[in-house]
Amino acid sequence: MVWPLWLPILLRSSRTSATDWTRVTQRPRIFLTEDAKRLAKKRLPRMIFDFFEGAAGREVGAGRNEARFDDITLQPRAMADVGKRSLATRFLGVEYGLPLGIAPMGMCNLACPRGDALIARTATDRNVPVCLSSAGSSSLEDMRRWSGDLTWFQLYFGHTARASFGAAERARDAGYDTLILTIDVPEVSRRTRDQQNGFSLPFRLTPRAFLDFALHPRWSISTLVHGVPEPRNFATESKGFDRKASRAGADWAFLQELRERWSGKLIVKGITSPVDAVRVQGLGVDAVYVSNHGGRQLDSAPPAIDLLPIIRSAVGPDYPLLFDSGIRNGEDVVKALALGADFVMLGRPTLYALAAAGGAGLQSLMQCFAEDIDLVMAQIGVSRIEDITDQVLFTPCAQAAHHAATHQAIPASTDT
């Protein structure tokens, strides 16, 4: 990337800018994902914010992912003796501090300098898993050093199966035990905002981009000081990682061979069809990750949360299911668990919080999620994560049927 000539001058004259970033990170006023998003929008160049927030087509699907959560309501319960509550969650044999991890996302260091390292620190503090993307801006070896066994690695089908197996071997050599294969990107979709903004990696410094960076000097300077982020995990042996490369050649035989070669835990991400879910399950994959990529791939994909109960019923009650797409607060997490997920992953809010206030921003947001989940559990009369079932959902018909079944007849009111 060619940087504006004035940046070194500005850099020398405004040493405080880097310090300012640190100072700002100490008192983040983040109580909701929406707070983080508002701050991120101010701090990031528009091109970067749009890369994070943008989705496929007219972005209707991304909006639907979030909106559908608002239609789901929970049934408050009283006198349930919920004084002692725990958020500890077992998933694939490991106990985590929350039912919530960090989803794989490319180029997190664009949110703020050392973004991946800050995510790793938050994951470690909270004892939650973090998944590094194939398109990550830190090497998988570094990430594994920062967050140890909590680090998972996400793999894309490379330009050949051999290249993908090579990337998986590199992850195994670095000590990874959990691999997520993402299968919902046969081709990278058209992200309209990226096209409008001329976003590409590495950056092309068009006049429009120049102005955008110049209007956000703090981000530009800190990014320059810490090194312009670039993809650090090569999916091929010879070429650098190409996030736009076609993955359309992936097939079931590839997944079967990956299963045979990868002796650790294998999760398949981007499943939206119950038929595909059952096929993945049949190949001995350890968990299915229900996700529509946050609406970034197919604008008309069904809202991800609507798919959860359908896929749960297809794979049976005991098969491990992960979920993301549209999670914005702790109530959403509880709803996803109630609708069949065993574990939930956090996408865009992670990037907004980092951009808003660095590591402190992400810590604040995670605290909001933890408090939300805990307080919601108190409201719905549940003390343990594993007790969150579809019984906590409010569905008028089901409630009436349950009442009728347990009480035979609704007692006559004594009110006059």
Ligand X SMILES: Cc1cc2nc3c(=O)[nH]c(=O)nc-3n(C[C@H](O)[C@H](O)[C@H](O)COP(=O)(O)O)c2cc1C
**Which structure tokens are listed for 405?**
């079944």
**Using rule CB under 6 A, residue 135 touches ligand X:** yes
For ligand X, the closer of residues 59 and 374 by Cβ is 59
By the 8 A CB rule, do 222 and 18 touch? yes
Q: Tell me the window of 97-105, 122-130, 247-255, 359-367 that interacts with ligand X (CB under 6 A).
A: 97-105
Q: Give CA–CA dist 142/148, Å, rounded.
A: 10
CB of 345 to ligand X, least distance (A): 7
3-state SS assignment for residue 389: coil
Q: Give CA–CA dist 146/356, Å, rounded.
A: 22
By the 8 A CB rule, do 344 and 335 touch? no
Alpha helices per DSSP H over 289-347: 304-315, 330-338
**Using rule CB under 6 A, residue 137 touches ligand X:** no
Span 232-291, contacts to ligand X by CB under 6 A? 269, 291
For ligand X, the binding residue among 99, 104, 115, 158 (CB under 6 A) is 104
**Using rule CB under 6 A, residue 352 touches ligand X:** no
For ligand X, the binding residue among 46, 144, 293, 335 (CB under 6 A) is 293
**Using rule CB under 6 A, residue 45 touches ligand X:** no
**Using rule CB under 6 A, residue 50 touches ligand X:** no
**Which structure tokens are listed for 72?**
């789901």
Span 305-324, contacts to ligand X by CB under 6 A? 324
Q: Which backbone phi and psi does 204 adopt, to 5 degrees?
A: -105, 125
For ligand X, the binding residue among 115, 347, 358, 359 (CB under 6 A) is 347
By the 8 A CB rule, do 53 and 351 touch? no
**Using rule CB under 6 A, residue 52 touches ligand X:** yes
Span 167-186, contacts to ligand X by CB under 6 A? 182
Q: Tell me the window of 10-18, 201-209, 229-237, 292-300 that interacts with ligand X (CB under 6 A).
A: 292-300
Write out the catalytic residue numbers: 293
For ligand X, the closer of residues 65 and 281 by Cβ is 65
Alpha helices per DSSP H over 14-100: 16-24, 33-43, 46-53, 60-70
Cβ-based neighbours of 48, under 8 Å, separated by 6 or more: 110, 111, 219, 355
* Interface ranges with ligand X (CB under 6 A): 51-52, 65, 103-106, 133, 135, 154, 182, 269, 291, 293-294, 296, 324-327, 347-348
